[in-house]
């Protein structure tokens, strides 16, 4: 190999290396990492309390038979929607109807006898002035009127009792709702008090939560509540406190919190549906907060953020510095920073995964100083 060829081969790698250094320098100058930042704020702190609960009905009733009898007709089945007063079930009422009619006839006869005795008394009293009737006979008629009146009253009461007995062979819905269970079939013999159907009201549903008793004094009518349902996984609904029951469960140390869904966004609910909720409870005082996206968590438990410094407004570049922080409450995608940051500092919320100390970055959303 000639000396000329040898020098040419030696210069080629050096030239390529110099070109690479130059291109890398140009690239680093033009392609600094772009990051998004936000300003650290001081604001009211909120404690988020997660809860699980159940949709409940204001009325759930297992309806029973008031009298003994043979089931002759069942007019409903599980899942049927009924209105107050609708006929649900009938017992064989043939004998009861006969007793009712007999009692009514007896009452009519007793009334007729009473009215006839009254007329005889009136006629007798007209003869007293003429002294054409003995006083003892008049007194006897007066007594008979009282006796006949009492007989009529007793017969009328018996007629009404038999009518009520007959009516009890028909079971009507005491309120509007849905039949959740049908417990009898045609042909069954029922004793008084036998369970017939279960009826559940589906209007004015509420949500019941068991809340740790330590939160009782911090919950009021203005407490914000976010609700989530498995049936609506992509939606969040607003709730409002309806009642908090001032009685603690001795075993669980919880109290009942009853919540209603905001009427403007009422979803279709059914009793027994599971509910997830978050109570937003105000905390006394304010604190420094930063977005969750600003945090970097390490396996050893450390948590840090990247702070931007030495901002150049003309080209929107800045230097970054990692700062370890101590965390507090978490709420609304914000984290309370108890130490490590000051109000007004700007922290990186996007692009902070691979930053290096003192690295130059370009700010996508430079905030006002």
* Three-state secondary-structure class, residue 282: strand
Pick the CATH number of 33-45+286-363 from 2.40.420.20, 1.20.120.790, 1.20.950.20, 3.30.200.20: 2.40.420.20
Res 367: pLDDT: 58
Q: What percent of the chain has pLDDT above 70?
A: 90
Q: What is the DSSP string of 310-364?
A: EEETTTTEEEEEEEE-EEEEEETTEEEEEES--TT-EEEEES-TT--TT-EEEET
Handedness of CA 250, 252, 255, 259 (dihedral sign): negative
Structure tokens at 92: 């064989």
pLDDT tens figures, 48-96: 999 999 999 999 999 999 999 999 999 999 999 999 999 999 999 999 9
Kindly report the pTM of this predicted structure.
0.66
Phi (first) and psi of residue 132, to 5 degrees: -100, 10
What would the CATH number be for the domain defined by 93-168?
1.10.287
pLDDT tens figures, 21-57: 443 344 344 468 889 999 999 999 989 999 999 999 9
Phi (first) and psi of residue 156, to 5 degrees: -65, -40
Instruction: Judge whether 48-58+202-284 and 60-91+169-201 match in fold.
Output: no
H/E stretch holding 12: helix 3-30
| Structure-model confidence comparison of residues 7 and 210, the more confident one | 210
H/E stretch holding 254: strand 254-261
* Three-state secondary-structure class, residue 99: helix
What would the CATH number be for the domain defined by 60-91+169-201?
2.40.50.100
Res 22: pLDDT: 40
Q: In what order do the strands lie in the sheet with 87-91?
A: 170-172, 87-91, 69-74, 189-190
The CATH class given to the 48-58+202-284 domain equals mainly beta
Do 276 and 48 contact (CB within 8 A), yes or no?
no
| Structure-model confidence comparison of residues 55 and 11, the more confident one | 55
pLDDT tens figures, 267-326: 889 999 999 999 999 888 889 999 999 999 999 999 999 999 988 888 888 999 999 999
**Cα atoms found within 13 Å of the Cα of residue 329, Cβ hemisphere only:** 19
Domain ranges of the chain: 33-45+286-363, 48-58+202-284, 60-91+169-201, 93-168
Q: Output the CA–CA distances (angstroms, integers) from residue 225 to 193, 209, 215, 362, in the order listed.
A: 42, 12, 14, 40
């Amino acid at each position: 190999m000639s000396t000329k060829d040898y020098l040419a081969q030696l210069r080629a790698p050096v030239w390529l290396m110099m070109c690479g250094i130059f291109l890398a320098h140009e690239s680093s100058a033009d392609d600094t990492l772009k990051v998004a930042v936000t300003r650290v704020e001081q604001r009211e702190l909120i404690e988020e309390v997660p809860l699980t609960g159940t949709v409940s009905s204001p009325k759930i009733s297992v309806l029973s038979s008031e009298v003994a009898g043979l089931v002759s007709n069942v007019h409903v089945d599980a899942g049927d929607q009924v209105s107050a007063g609708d006929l649900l079930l009938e017992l064989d009422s043939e004998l009861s109807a006969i007793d009712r009619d007999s009692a009514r006839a007896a009452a009519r006869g007793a009334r007729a006898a009473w009215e006839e005795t009254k007329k005889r008394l009136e006629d007798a009293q007209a003869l007293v002035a003429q002294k054409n009737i003995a006083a003892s006979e008049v007194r006897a008629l007066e007594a008979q009127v009282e006796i006949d009146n009492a007989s009529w009253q007793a017969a009328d009461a018996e007629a009404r009792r038999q009518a009520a007995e007959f009516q009890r062979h028909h079971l009507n819905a005491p309120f509007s709702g849905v039949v959740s269970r049908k417990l009898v079939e045609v042909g069954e013999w029922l004793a008084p008090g036998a369970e017939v159907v279960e009826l559940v009201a589906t209007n004015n549903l509420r949500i019941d939560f068991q809340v740790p008793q330590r939160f009782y004094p911090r919950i009021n009518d203005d407490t914000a509540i976010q609700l989530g349902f498995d049936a609506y996984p992509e939606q969040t609904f607003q709730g409002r406190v309806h009642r908090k029951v001032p009685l603690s469960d001795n075993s669980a140390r919880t109290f009942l919190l009853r919540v209603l869904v905001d009427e403007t966004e009422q979803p279709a609910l059914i009793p027994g549906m599971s509910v997830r909720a978050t109570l937003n409870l105000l905390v006394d005082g304010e604190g420094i907060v930063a977005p969750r996206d600003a945090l970097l968590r390490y396996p050893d438990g450390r948590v840090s953020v990247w702070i931007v410094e030495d901002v150049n407004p003309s080209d929107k570049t800045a230097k970054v510095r990692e700062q370890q922080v101590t965390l507090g409450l978490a709420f609304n995608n914000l984290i309370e920073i108890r130490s490590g940051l000051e109000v007004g500092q700007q922290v990186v919320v996007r692009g902070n995964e691979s930053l290096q100390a003192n690295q130059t970055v370009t700010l996508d959303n430079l905030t006002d100083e």
